[in-house]
Amino acid sequence: MPDQKSSQEPKRFNPAEPGTTESPSLALKYLLGYLDETRWSKVLDLGPAVGANVEFFTQYSCKLFIADLFQAFGPGRGNLELSGGALSRRLQQDLPSRDQAPFDIILAWDLLNYLEPEEMETAGRHLAALCSPKGLLFALLSNHHLLPDRPICFSIVDIETLTYDNRSTATRPSPHYREPDLERHLPAFVVETS
């Protein structure tokens, strides 16, 4: 007879397995608490347009902007020359203009896991220029040895829960970025919760 307890446990995220997984996120709750405290906010989502997320943010007094950077850092990025000034030009093209800033929240999701340290520094400078003085950058760092070969598509279920939608069958090594790495490569930002 199967153990009932193990059959009731939620599926844990495995980067080597395609599919969806729900996971609690205390950082998301913290982030959304910030939206509750502000009268009107601008949110920049760096992932693809996800209907559930667009719908979720309608309950807040905010304007949602979407700048899908995932395509630039997913599979086949070897075809994209993102070294030197090329990444900076790409970000200027894909990110909103400074006229649309400042943003109170930037949703980077797991994008930082797909950046080399120099790329993170370049992206950090561009994002800092778009961020309000008290703005928050929401980033999920992987603690797995492997990552899917493309960024994960995230959906907000509620204020404490995210759905991870891994659409990839291939993997790549994880950079294992930690708080000191963020402090070094993103000096304009401060880690508030992890």
Alpha-carbon distance of 35 to 42, in angstroms, equals: 10
Q: Mind listing the pLDDT tens digit for each residue in 19-77? A: 999 999 989 999 998 887 777 899 999 999 999 999 999 999 999 999 999 877 665 55
Domain 11-185, CATH number (from 3.40.1360, 3.30.70, 2.40.50, 3.40.50) = 3.40.50
Q: Residues near 121 by Cβ (< 8 Å), separated by ≥ 6?
A: 185, 186
Local confidence band at 2 (pLDDT 50, 70, 90 cut-offs)? very low
Buried b (16+ CB within 10 A) or exposed e, 4-27: eeeeeeeeebebeeeeebebebeb
Give the single-character DSSP code of 84.
T
The answer to whether residue 78 scores a pLDDT higher than 50 is no
Q: Helix, strand or coil for residue 185?
A: helix
d(CA 186, CA 128): 9
E strands within the chain?
19-24, 41-45, 62-66, 103-109, 131-139, 146-148, 153-158, 161-166, 171-173
pLDDT digits (tens, 9 = 90+) for 145-171: 999 999 999 999 999 999 999 999 999
